[in-house]
Amino acid sequence: MSQTLLEMAKDLVMAQIEAHRLTPEEMHTALQHTYASLQALKTQEDAHSSVAVATPETPSKPVNWKKSITKHTVTCLVCGATLKQLSARHLKEHSLDGRSYRGKYNIPRTQPLAAKETTSRRKEIVQRSRPWEKAPTYLKAQEKAQKAVAQQTKKAQRKGTARTKA
């Protein structure tokens, strides 16, 4: 082998990094796994045996979902894909829905599965368009309130004219 195992592992992980976006923790883990696999292959090659190589598994750490939601992106904790939001379509690829995804990673029910910037933009749009003012129940309540105010002003005017006559 002309390259050292560490150089080969670094090259492989760099190719993975170029293909997908990886967090520093994922890069470190990928480098360790790749190095361990290459070391096992080298041992097998040196021994000239045909024994299958088992890659060492590191115990999975509890995932901190808060780190997966950043200002501009949200990272899928299942596949590591970086998106602006975790859509129902994307979660369906993992046989999940929003509720089960939140349950699996202990994400609060009220936490949006979208980047913080996306969420704030949506809030601004809703505040500008004020969709609750277009709802039929809101419009009926406004009409009722206007009628009540009109009746009160008529009563007040009647009382005012009755006093001036007496």
First to last CA, the chain: 115
Domain ranges of the chain: 1-61, 64-129, 136-165
Q: How far apart are CA 65 and CA 10, in angstroms?
A: 27
Residues 97-138 have pLDDT tens digits of: 999 999 999 999 999 999 999 999 999 999 999 888 888 998
Instruction: Give the CA dihedral 135, 136, 140, 142, nearest 10 degrees.
Output: 20
Q: Which CATH number fits domain 64-129: 1.10.357.10, 3.40.50.1370, 1.10.10.1550, 3.40.50.620?
A: 1.10.10.1550
Asked if 5 and 35 touch (Cβ cutoff 8 Å), the reply is yes
Q: 């368009």: which residue's tokens? A: 129
Q: Whole-model pTM?
A: 0.47
